[in-house]
Amino acid sequence: MPITHLNDSHRKDSDDKKKIISNEILKDLYRKDNEIDSSNLNQNSNLISQIKLQNVKSLKYSGENLENYDLKNSKTIRNERIFELIKTENTIRTVKIKDIIKESKIIKTIVFNINNQENQGFLKPRAGQFVMIWVPGVNEIPMSISGYDNNYWSVTVKSVGECTREIQNLKIGDFIGVRGPLGNNFQYPNDYKEKKIILIGGGIGIAPLRCLAFELHEKNIPFVLIAGATCSNDSIFTKDFKNLNPNLVEIVYCTDDGSYGSKGVASEVFKDYIQNFSKDEISRFLVYTCGPEKMMYHIFQICEKFKIDIQASLERIMRCGCGICGLCALDPLGLLVCKDGPVFSSNDLRNLEDFGKYKRDLTGKKIPVD
Ligand SMILES: Cc1cc2nc3c(=O)[nH]c(=O)nc-3n(C[C@H](O)[C@H](O)[C@H](O)COP(=O)(O)OP(=O)(O)OC[C@H]3O[C@@H](n4cnc5c(N)ncnc54)[C@H](O)[C@@H]3O)c2cc1C
Ligand code: FES
């Protein structure tokens, strides 16, 4: 047998084994999660100390001041407080996949149930925040929350490498580990109701903006969405956006090759769009953007020229996702994309020399952004 065949079949065997192990680990964790019965909390001191131990770990991560709590004596901590403590964002929880939606050839939305018993500890997310998705034996990677309600959250995953490929191979009923919600969210300034809100997304960057679009829609806040993609096959969420009230939402689609909507990249379409408004009207714009960094940098420059407030969601390679490893640091301010971001507003963007220019590879070395 040629050596390449040997390699291929060996790789397939080891991939299959990895998948089986990964799902067994997660199933086991899921089972354990569900063994915790909140009604026993008063009687079961063992359980309380178990939970307490988990919380010590979570608290350290979440930066709360441990000295405020008498962790040696569980009786002094009321049950409500214990549950509140469990609700920290840095606990990995096992969740079951409820649905998988194929958005394009290489993009899938994974919908998972956050509402099993233990997992009720998930904090409510806000648009712009992300989660770390853990595939045992493969990696733990950051993904924006693309949608949420009381029972389900979703992430929309573009296949670019090993872990995203593994996530895309998962089936309904499979398990993943989820840590979050992490990072900050898109902010609504006090005067946002007087603003003309514009969302500008490119490629997979439309994922957190989908979440923001639904938040704004629920609040009955009008907005414009400029959704860019390379070609019609890559234009995602078009069905979801069709369900939004057209009296509230104006959607402008664009593709690099003109195969869906206007021809051109989202930043160029935005530049053309604002030509229709007076200087006074433009000063009331508020822009939220996510997508390729070069695109966001271009949009930022346009916003600076016209004195438009902007919030941009940045991406950096992440390891810990919670402010420990420093891989996502932005020079010269040392802001961390995972803790201080991923959403940054005009004030920060102005002072970030890395923005639009440099990111770090897995070794921490600076390399140009794509
Ligand atoms: C806050 C945040 C939110 C994100 N949201 C989404 C999302 O909603 N949907 C989505 O598909 N992707 C999202 N990403 C990017 C995603 O995390 C990476 O594509 C993923 O980690 C790649 O993992 P991999 O193992 O498949 O690829 P690898 O095999 O590790 O690498 C493949 C390529 O992806 C690049 N890459 C690796 N990690 C990252 C990273 N963290 N950010 C950017 N590029 C990376 C590598 O440099 C390489 O070029 C987000 C990233 C961040 C930081
Ligand atoms: S990913 Fe480790 S500090 Fe941000």
Quick: pLDDT tens for 36-74.
433 333 333 333 334 333 433 333 333 333 334 444 444
Same domain, 157 and 251: no
Same domain, 14 and 95: yes
pLDDT tens for residues 180-200?
999 999 998 888 888 999 999
Same domain, 268 and 315: yes
Same domain, 166 and 207: no
Closest ligand to Cα 335: 2
320 lines ligand 2 (CB under 6 A): yes
Report residue 29's pLDDT band, with 50, 70 and 90 as the boundaries.
low
E strand or H helix at 148: strand 139-148
| The pLDDT value given to residue 182 | 96
| pLDDT of residue 264 exceeding 50 | yes
CB 342 within 8 A of CB 314: yes
| pLDDT of residue 1 exceeding 60 | no
364 lines ligand 2 (CB under 6 A): no
Report the alpha-carbon distance of residue 24 to residue 94 in Å, rounded: 12
Q: Whose CA is nearest to atom 39 of ligand 1?
A: 317
| pLDDT of residue 89 exceeding 70 | yes
143 lines ligand 1 (CB under 6 A): yes
142 lines ligand 1 (CB under 6 A): yes
Report yes or no on 46 lying in a domain: no
Percentage of the chain lying above the pLDDT 70 cut:
75
What is the 316 CA–ligand 1 centroid distance (Å)?
Answer: 8
Report yes or no on 337 lying in a domain: yes
161 lines ligand 1 (CB under 6 A): yes
| pLDDT of residue 166 exceeding 90 | yes
164 lines ligand 1 (CB under 6 A): yes
Q: What is the mean pLDDT of the chain?
A: 83
Q: Look up the domain containing 244 and give its range.
A: 192-368
212 lines ligand 2 (CB under 6 A): no
Report the alpha-carbon distance of residue 68 to residue 17 in Å, rounded: 46
185 lines ligand 1 (CB under 6 A): no
Report yes or no on 294 lying in a domain: yes
Which atom of ligand 2 is closest in space to residue 336's alpha carbon? 4
Report the alpha-carbon distance of residue 182 to residue 184 in Å, rounded: 7
To test the pocket of ligand 2, the residue of 132, 315, 319, 340 to mutate (highest count of ligand atoms within 8 Å of its CB) is 319
User: Could you tell me which of 184, 250, 253 has the C-alpha nearest to residue 216?
Assistant: 250
Same domain, 151 and 278: no
| pLDDT of residue 178 exceeding 90 | yes
The last residue of one of the domains, among 115, 149, 182, is 182
Q: Which of 4-8, 23-27, 274-278, 355-359 has the lowest mean pLDDT?
A: 4-8
Q: Find the CATH number of the domain harbouring 292.
A: 3.40.50.80
160 lines ligand 2 (CB under 6 A): no
Closest ligand to Cα 182: 1
CB 184 within 8 A of CB 174: no
Which atom of ligand 1 is closest in space to residue 338's alpha carbon? 1
293 lines ligand 1 (CB under 6 A): no
Which atom of ligand 1 is closest in space to residue 341's alpha carbon? 1
Report yes or no on 62 lying in a domain: no
Total domains, the chain: 2
134 lines ligand 1 (CB under 6 A): no
Report yes or no on 43 lying in a domain: no
Report yes or no on 60 lying in a domain: no
More confident residue, 21 or 84: 21
Cβ-based neighbour number of residue 72 at 10 Å? 7
Report residue 10's pLDDT band, with 50, 70 and 90 as the boundaries.
low
| pLDDT of residue 362 exceeding 70 | yes
Mean pLDDT across 354-368: 94
Report the alpha-carbon distance of residue 364 to residue 341 in Å, rounded: 18
Same domain, 177 and 230: no
Report the alpha-carbon distance of residue 20 to residue 362 in Å, rounded: 28
CB 96 within 8 A of CB 173: yes
321 lines ligand 2 (CB under 6 A): yes
What is the 337 CA–ligand 2 centroid distance (Å)?
Answer: 7
109 lines ligand 1 (CB under 6 A): no
327 lines ligand 2 (CB under 6 A): yes
Which atom of ligand 1 is closest in space to residue 107's alpha carbon? 11
What is the 339 CA–ligand 2 centroid distance (Å)?
Answer: 7
Global pTM reads 0.83
pLDDT tens for residues 208-239?
999 999 999 999 999 999 999 999 989 999 99
Number of H helices, E strands in the chain: 10, 17
Q: Whose CA is nearest to atom 45 of ligand 1?
A: 317
Q: Find the CATH number of the domain harbouring 107.
A: 2.40.30.10
The last residue of one of the domains, among 160, 182, 204, is 182
To test the pocket of ligand 2, the residue of 318, 333, 361 to mutate (highest count of ligand atoms within 8 Å of its CB) is 318
Report yes or no on 72 lying in a domain: no
Q: What Cα–Cα distance (Å) separates residue 102 from each residue in 73, 145, 175, 213?
A: 50, 16, 18, 20
Q: Which of 41-50, 81-90, 278-287, 310-319 has the lowest mean pLDDT?
A: 41-50
